[in-house]
Amino acid sequence: MATDQVLPTSPIQASSVDYWDFEANVIVIGCGGAGACAALSAHDAGASVMIFELASDIGGSTALSSAEVYLGAGTRVQKATGHKDTKQGMTEFLTAAAGPQADAEKIEAYVEGSTDHFDWLVTQGVPFKDSEYPHRAIMALTDDCLLYTGGENAYPYNTLASPAPRGHNLQVTGDNGGPLLMKTLGARLNERSIPIHLNSRALALIVDDIDQQQVVVGVKVRIDMQERYVKALFGVILATGGFVMNQKMVEHYAPELTKCTVPIGNPGDTGAGILMGMGVGGQAINMHEGFVSLPFYPPASLTYGLFINSQGQRFVNEDSYHGRVGSLILRQPGERVYLILGVEDYGNYETESYLNADVVATADSVLELESDLNLPQGQLQSTIRDYNKSVELGVDYAFHKDARWLKAIEPPYVALDVTPGRGAFFPYFTLGGLDTLPSGEVLKANGEAVCGLYAIGRTACGIPRRGEGYASGMSVGDATFSGRQAGLAAANRMMIERNANG
């Protein structure tokens, strides 16, 4: 598949298949976190499973990620570190975070299964230390576990849901959670002798008419330049990631994201699974949404600064999660967005930061800074004067930045250009995908399931639904969890059909 395909992939008819090269109860396409968990669960529930992976090794985008896992409602680590979390608190946060497009059924299933999912990961050998990482950070670089990853403890979420840290970092030093998670899951796949075909590109779904209904019965794949036909007796599970690497598809479905700079994922995230699902009638939803980040911390000291739009106004509490900040920056109407700091808080920016934003002005007075940045006369002066007054009062009435991050902006000043498209690091990935039930069954627009087809991870539209309410760990959490549900559902279908037949 060229990476610029936008149109759905038409399926081929089973009647045109002369010979099935492979066969299993459940066929999994893609072996990142979602696919691996689907395969393990289907296997453990009694199904034979076969995996086809595009790349030369398993891992997918999960292996490239930090692999925090967003879990709560009282996990072992939350309890051990004294963090009270409840199903209600987690439900309220996930609902507020997903906004008006929240999927209440998926959230309920995820919250109800959250502690069990943690335990299941542990059973697979995924290590979590009973400790927390009490810093403002995008990820834990120590082997500590628990951290706030979605601004649960910052405005507005701290007013909408009882805050608890839910980002579970694996017990590994450095940004190495993803490789460790996939190595661990890979070892479990190997122990079970689940066949994994690498360098295998899924080309099209295969459908049959059974009892006047279209059923997905297999996949056509290309392995070593040969086209192979793979029969799935009880289900095909699409786990091929999102579409962030398909530029045309991003332009078509999520044009706002084209302002961002660095697509996050692996080269296989071309939307192939979504397009195959659409080709058999699956509905793709929420396709305009994506995770967008401005990773402006560490160093945490940049949180003392102020984000300023072209009107010289603040527009966000700067202690927000980097994803919320990135999303709001994308929505500012003017031509520039700056992060303005006292030089003292610029601190270790150049060595510690991922931000890559250029210093576009330094100044000894706000007047000079305002002029250097071409901001409307007087606006930045008002903004900084008002902010410094809030600092004196100890309350940011305007934007509700927490008191511990309130510190006067003092000269000399530094301004970083964080305008999308002007050098600053704006990573992004897609949050739209196939509409599914919590079981992973792919839904058509009419609400009926496509028989025999499941979608999981970023191939589906899951728990995370918008950039503004993303939290680190949501994607890996949702991928691994939805993978397990789909693996179980496909195996369950097998049991039901076998019992019905006798």
Binding site for a copy of itself (CB under 8 A): 7-8, 10, 100-101, 156, 255-256, 258, 278-279, 284, 288, 311-314, 331, 333, 376-379, 382-383, 385-386, 389-390, 393, 396-399, 445-447
How far is residue 418's CA from residue 306's CA, in Å, rounded to a whole number? 12
How many CA atoms within 13 Å lie on the side-chain side of 378? 0
Q: What minimum distance in Å lies between the beta carbon of 399 and a copy of itself?
A: 7
Kindly tell me the number of DSSP H helices and DSSP E strands found in the chain: 16, 23
**Beta carbons of 420 and 259 less than 8 angstroms apart:** yes
How far is residue 367's CA from residue 378's CA, in Å, rounded to a whole number? 8
Q: What minimum distance in Å lies between the beta carbon of 284 and a copy of itself?
A: 8
Q: What minimum distance in Å lies between the beta carbon of 69 and a copy of itself?
A: 29
Q: What minimum distance in Å lies between the beta carbon of 279 and a copy of itself?
A: 7
How far is residue 225's CA from residue 395's CA, in Å, rounded to a whole number? 65
Q: What minimum distance in Å lies between the beta carbon of 303 and a copy of itself?
A: 19
Residue with Cβ nearer a copy of itself (359 or 398): 398
How far is residue 406's CA from residue 344's CA, in Å, rounded to a whole number? 14
How far is residue 294's CA from residue 328's CA, in Å, rounded to a whole number? 10
Residue with Cβ nearer a copy of itself (112 or 386): 386
Give the SS3 label for residue 31.
Answer: coil
How many CA atoms within 13 Å lie on the side-chain side of 33? 31
Residue with Cβ nearer a copy of itself (188 or 314): 314
Residue with Cβ nearer a copy of itself (365 or 377): 377
Which residue matches tokens 């991050």?
405
Residue with Cβ nearer a copy of itself (242 or 432): 432
Residue with Cβ nearer a copy of itself (175 or 386): 386
Residue with Cβ nearer a copy of itself (127 or 156): 156
Buried b (16+ CB within 10 A) or exposed e, 314-337: bbbbbbbbbbbbbbbbbebeeebb
Burial of 17 (0-12, 13-18, 19+ CB in 10 A): middle
Residue with Cβ nearer a copy of itself (135 or 259): 259
Beta strand 167-168 with 69-70 is antiparallel
- In this structure, the number of other CB atoms found within 10 A of the CB of residue 177 comes to 26
Residue with Cβ nearer a copy of itself (267 or 376): 376
Q: What minimum distance in Å lies between the beta carbon of 343 and a copy of itself?
A: 25
Q: What minimum distance in Å lies between the beta carbon of 251 and a copy of itself?
A: 9
Burial of 223 (0-12, 13-18, 19+ CB in 10 A): middle
Integer CA distances (angstroms), 266 to 11, 37, 205, 211, 360, in order? 25, 18, 22, 39, 33
Residue with Cβ nearer a copy of itself (184 or 311): 311
Q: What minimum distance in Å lies between the beta carbon of 422 and a copy of itself?
A: 19
Q: What minimum distance in Å lies between the beta carbon of 70 and a copy of itself?
A: 23
Q: What is the DSSP string of 417-444?
A: E--TTSSS--EEEE--EE-B-TT-EEEB
Q: What minimum distance in Å lies between the beta carbon of 106 and a copy of itself?
A: 15
Q: What minimum distance in Å lies between the beta carbon of 318 and a copy of itself?
A: 14
Q: The tokens of 372 are what?
A: 């250097």
Q: What minimum distance in Å lies between the beta carbon of 98 and a copy of itself?
A: 11
- Reading across the β-sheet that carries 167-168, which strands appear in turn? 69-70, 167-168, 146-147
Integer CA distances (angstroms), 265 to 32, 52, 62, 64, 311, in order? 11, 18, 8, 7, 34
Cis peptide before 295 (omega within 30 of 0): no
Residue with Cβ nearer a copy of itself (398 or 495): 398
Residue with Cβ nearer a copy of itself (15 or 199): 15
